[in-house]
Amino acid sequence: QLWMLCLSAFLSLPHARAEPIRYSVAEEGESGSVVANVAEDAGLAPAQLSARRARLASEDGRQHFRLDRGTGRLVVAERLDREELCGQSATCTLPFELLLANPLQFFRVEVAVEDINDHSPAFPEEQVTFKILETSNPGSRFPLEGARDLDVGSNSIQAYSIAPRNEYFSVSFGSRSEGDKYVELVLEKPLDREEEAEVGFSLIAVDGGSPPRSGTTQIRIVVLDVNDNAPVFTQKLYVGQVLENAAEGSVVLSVVATDRDAGPNGEVSYQFSQAVGQSHSSFAIDAVTGEIRLTKPLDFEAAENHELSVRATDGGGLSAMCKVLVEVVDVNDNAPEVVVSSFSSPLPENALPGTVVALFTVRDRDAGANGKISCALEDQLLFSLRPAYKNYYELVTVSTLDREETARYTLAVTAADAGSPPLTTTQTFTVDISDVNDNVPVFNQTSYTMYVRENNVPTVLVGAVSASDADEGPNAKVTYSLAPAHPAERPPCSCISVNSENGQVFVLRPLDYEQVRQIEVLVSASDAGTPPLSANVTVRLVVVDENDNAPLVLYPSQDSSPASSELVPKSSEAGYLVTKVVAVDADSGQNSWLSYHLLRATDPGLFAVGAQSGEVRLRRPVTERDAVKQKLVVLVRDNGQPPLSATAALSALLLNDFSDVHLPHSSLATEDEGAFIARKVCKSKELKGGHVLYGTGNLQSGLADAAAAGTLPHAYCYEISLTTGSGNSEFKFLKPILPSLPPQHSGMGRDELGKGPLSLVSSVLFPTSEAP
């Protein structure tokens, strides 16, 4: 079955030749002798031999021949001794394979080693003595141990002869039906001990070589008296079997020979007859019982059988010979051998499934089931074994590899024979996986937020980005750079720089929180692979405010000329709202938190300033002792460290009622505010009960301008009562009222600054003439 499987595997290979290429070569040829041009016979060009790494492989590992890749010639690698290689076998064939790679291809080559006549016949003994009874009849035959010639065929022994010729003996030789060759002396004439007690001559063996070779042994015939029966074995051939691991001293078998003579002539003794090419060193025979025992363990792999020659000799000198064949029974004492022909490591991680990692062959010196081998790959999903040819196997990949998951594989191939118990051999292949640039750099954050205080020093370090790459070597070396958000965009902000080596982020120039509060850039991380892979991350730079802006007073305006004045009725109670200081700070956070403080005043006890609101109110009621004109300076301070501040200057006039408009012009003219003060009137409308609201359009131009300098909020309205019959109209400061105009008048205008609907406003102080 193993043979049929190997033949099937061989025939299934698309690149294997079915019939072997056969050559012959004479033994003893010199090393380097040309056998043939194997490339030509295989249909290969010499250039293919080197390109496809052609080589010779034999099962026993010996290289009797070598291949000249340049010419394709097969030459002898060492002296070939046919007798050493094949012994007495009729044919001597040295098989091997011609292996080529890319693609894998095999050619079976068989070289027959032809015998030459380089050995002479040799007898086992230089002299052989026969003791022959004188009563022996003509035609009696006396067996001899024939000469051995290590050559075969026509170069082996062809003839025997006696020299000098004598009248008593001739030589007979030939083959029996069992195939055994024999040599015998034939008695031609009865012996007469009294006439000739001893006969001597030479026995010559001649082979059929050209020129022929010969060997000689001396024959000495001692003529005996009376003993006319030779021992006779019960079998001509004894066959015994012994396990190769049998212990020393184990009995193999016993031979038995009988002699019909009596007395000393019938006593038989046994001994080995040393034949050429036979070794009895592993056996011993008991001279009396004929029992053959082991003297040392046998090895089936060294010799599958042993052939012994046993001579039985009686007391009268007569003898007989038999053959003993000891068959060594194989036991499973040899583990399989794994011979690696090629191995590829490291292996790139993008290697395609089916890539050959290793090519190896397995063999076992045992026979039968003990030499039948199976191979298995232990615990692997990414690799497998694939039979290649005969006992060759390929270790191949079956799926894609990933170095980042596993950088090294230790593959154990186990070869087990079919013995009982089976023997195993494990061959380990360590396959390193080389890196391919298949991983993009990965940042350790999805985005980065960094902070820098405004007015920073140039090239200040504000943070760092970090990315890692699962690859190794240059494929894992990450460099950083700024990248536009989209390819069509202009280059990124020039005020930010990234260190290409460590990802540190620098701000190259001072920033102003009031101009820019946040900058977003894209940072790219690229590896050094070919082609390089990259990833982007958003870096958000937040500018942190510093207290670098002083408060700015918006109201009252500090650049108006003349300075604005507020009208305060002397009848006002404590808490009366005089005006409100409005200021802003360009900074943010606590740097823009403003507080208001009364810094100076004509009468500090009269006024109070809301620390958070900036409202200027009367601290107490107005008295007659208070000066008509009051000057105040309000300090506006932010909450920064250190704090910054600004001042707002304003004035207030304390009046009884509108009749005070008849103050002498000269006295009024000495005041900063001028002779007349008017409140802005945004809308005029007749009211029920004879009251009139005056807008800007109803005032004289001078009064309208003066009214424009007022500082009270527009939401405050005052009722004006005009009477007749008096030289002066009566102006009264009444409770503020909220105008409730019809819907059609609610959107008729806006104030000068465009900040809201026009409102009905305040009292007007001016002289009038008597009504007509």
Q: What percent of the chain has pLDDT over 70?
A: 80
DSSP-assigned beta bridge partners for residue 157: 207
The pLDDT assigned to 486 comes to 61
| Averaged pLDDT for residues 359-373 | 88
Highest mean pLDDT among 143-157, 271-285, 508-522, 554-568: 508-522
The pLDDT assigned to 742 comes to 38
Distance CA 296, CA 247 (A): 7
DSSP-assigned beta bridge partners for residue 113: 25
The pLDDT assigned to 90 comes to 74
Q: Find the length of the chain.
A: 772
In sequence order, which ranges of 181-246 are alpha helices (DSSP H)? Answer: none
Decide: residue 118, CB within 10 A, 0-12 exposed, 13-18 middle, 19+ buried. middle
The pLDDT assigned to 19 comes to 85
pLDDT digits (tens, 9 = 90+) for 294-327: 999 888 888 888 999 999 999 888 899 999 999 9
Q: What is the DSSP letter of 712?
A: S
| Averaged pLDDT for residues 405-414 | 91
| The pLDDT of residue 700 is above 50 | no
Q: Identity (one letter) of the amino acid at 387?
A: P
| The pLDDT of residue 369 is above 90 | no
Higher per-residue confidence, 511 vs 691: 511
Backbone angles phi, psi at 240, to 5 degrees: -130, 150
Distance CA 615, CA 527 (A): 64
DSSP-assigned beta bridge partners for residue 499: none
| Averaged pLDDT for residues 400-416 | 90
| 3: enclosing H helix or E strand | helix 2-12
What's the pLDDT band for 278 if we cut at 50, 70, 90? low
> Minimal CA–CA distance to 207: which of 276, 274, 278, 116?
116
The pLDDT assigned to 92 comes to 85
> Minimal CA–CA distance to 397: which of 384, 379, 412, 388?
384
Residue 675, token pair as written in the block: 């002779």
| Averaged pLDDT for residues 709-734 | 39
Highest mean pLDDT among 108-117, 617-626, 734-743: 617-626
Q: What is the DSSP letter of 199?
A: E
Placement of tokens 């991350």 in the chain: 537
Lowest mean pLDDT segment, chosen from 59-63, 297-301, 476-480, 632-636: 59-63
| Averaged pLDDT for residues 422-446 | 92
The pLDDT assigned to 637 comes to 93
User: Coil, strand, or helix at residue 686?
Assistant: strand
Q: How far is CA 51 from CA 17, 103, 185, 360, 643, in A?
A: 20, 11, 66, 21, 87
- pTM: predicted TM-score of the whole model, two decimal places: 0.46
How many Cα atoms sit within 13 Å of 482 on the Cβ side? 20
Q: How far is CA 98 from CA 7, 21, 88, 101, 364, in A?
A: 17, 10, 28, 10, 22
Higher per-residue confidence, 771 vs 50: 50
The pLDDT assigned to 431 comes to 93
Lowest mean pLDDT segment, chosen from 155-159, 270-274, 686-690: 686-690
Distance CA 735, CA 763 (A): 11
| The pLDDT of residue 670 is above 50 | no
Residues 560-563: contacts with CB within 8 Å, 24+ apart? 560/709, 562/672, 562/673, 562/674, 562/709, 563/649, 563/650, 563/651, 563/672, 563/673
Residue 454, token pair as written in the block: 């405004």
The pLDDT assigned to 462 comes to 92
Q: How far is CA 523 from CA 448, 500, 519, 527, 535, in A?
A: 10, 10, 13, 13, 8
The pLDDT assigned to 608 comes to 92
The pLDDT assigned to 61 comes to 77
Q: What is the DSSP letter of 515?
A: T
What's the pLDDT band for 660 if we cut at 50, 70, 90? low
pLDDT digits (tens, 9 = 90+) for 476-502: 999 999 988 665 555 567 889 999 999
> Minimal CA–CA distance to 101: which of 44, 183, 18, 162?
44
Distance CA 22, CA 31 (A): 20
What's the pLDDT band for 357 if we cut at 50, 70, 90? very high
Q: Identity (one letter) of the amino acid at 132?
A: I
Residue 114, token pair as written in the block: 């032809």
Residue 767, token pair as written in the block: 């002289």
The pLDDT assigned to 277 comes to 52
Distance CA 371, CA 735 (A): 125
Question: Which residues 6+ apart lie within 8 Å of 365 measured at CB?
Answer: 301, 334, 337, 371
User: Coil, strand, or helix at residue 772?
Assistant: coil
pLDDT digits (tens, 9 = 90+) for 246-255: 888 899 999 9
User: Coil, strand, or helix at residue 12?
Assistant: helix
Omega into 421 within 30° of 0, i.e. cis? yes
What's the pLDDT band for 74 if we cut at 50, 70, 90? confident
Lowest mean pLDDT segment, chosen from 487-491, 515-519, 613-617, 681-685: 681-685
| Averaged pLDDT for residues 203-228 | 86
Q: Identity (one letter) of the amino acid at 104?
A: L
pLDDT digits (tens, 9 = 90+) for 645-657: 999 999 989 888 6
| The pLDDT of residue 434 is above 70 | yes
pLDDT digits (tens, 9 = 90+) for 189-198: 988 877 888 8
| Averaged pLDDT for residues 546-556 | 87
Q: Identity (one letter) of the amino acid at 686?
A: E
Residue 629 near residue 534, CB atoms below 8 Å:
no
In sequence order, which ranges of 470-579 are alpha helices (DSSP H)? Answer: none
Residues 583-586: contacts with CB within 8 Å, 24+ apart? 583/551, 583/552, 583/553, 583/554, 583/614, 583/636, 583/646, 583/648, 584/551, 584/552, 584/554, 585/549, 585/550, 585/551, 585/552, 585/638, 586/514, 586/549, 586/552
Distance CA 149, CA 275 (A): 11
Average pLDDT taken over every residue of the chain: 79
| The pLDDT of residue 523 is above 90 | yes
As separate numbers, helices (DSSP H) first and strands (DSSP E) second, the chain gives: 6, 51
Residue 222, token pair as written in the block: 């001692």
Decide: residue 326, CB within 10 A, 0-12 exposed, 13-18 middle, 19+ buried. buried
> What residue ranges define each of the domains in the chain, with the CATH number in brackets?
14-114 (2.60.40.60), 127-224 (2.60.40.60), 232-329 (2.60.40.60), 337-434 (2.60.40.60), 442-544 (2.60.40.60), 552-656 (2.60.40.60), 657-772 (no CATH)
Q: Identity (one letter) of the amino acid at 78?
A: E
